[in-house]
């Protein structure tokens, strides 16, 4: 089963990488961009057939390793294709 974990910094946490990209976009005259926040996406292929069990296991993975829950939020998706 494929599982997608999207991780992003919580609102209010400084994102220096996002600021650098925003500055670079402004330098290239992409002035319509108001803000940039950088995140990460982790795609897992796990041996699980039950979506609820997979959800619980991936939540544990996120809490213990994949995300720093002090400064990051995460979402878990199950793609249909």
The rounded distance, in Å, linking the Cα atoms of 68 and 81 is 29
Q: Is 12 helix (H, G, I), strand (E, B) or coil?
A: coil
| Domain-wise residue ranges, the chain | 2-77
Q: What is the pTM of this model?
A: 0.89
| pLDDT, position 27 | 98
Chunked into runs of 10 residues, the chain (81 residues) has average pLDDT values of 98 97 98 97 97 98 98 96 65
| pLDDT, position 80 | 87
| pLDDT, position 81 | 65
> Domain 2-77, CATH 3.30.499.10 — does that match?
no
Given a contact cutoff of 8 angstroms between Cβ atoms, the answer to whether 71 and 10 are in contact is yes
């Amino acid at each position: 089963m494929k599982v997608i974990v999207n991780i992003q910094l919580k609102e209010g946490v400084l994102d220096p990488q996002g600021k650098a990209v925003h500055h670079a976009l402004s330098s290239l005259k992409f002035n319509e961009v108001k803000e940039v926040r950088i995140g990460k996406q982790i795609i897992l292929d796990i041996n699980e057939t039950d979506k609820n069990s997979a959800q619980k296991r991936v939540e544990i993975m996120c809490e213990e390793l994949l995300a720093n829950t002090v400064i990051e939020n995460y979402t878990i998706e199950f793609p249909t294709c």
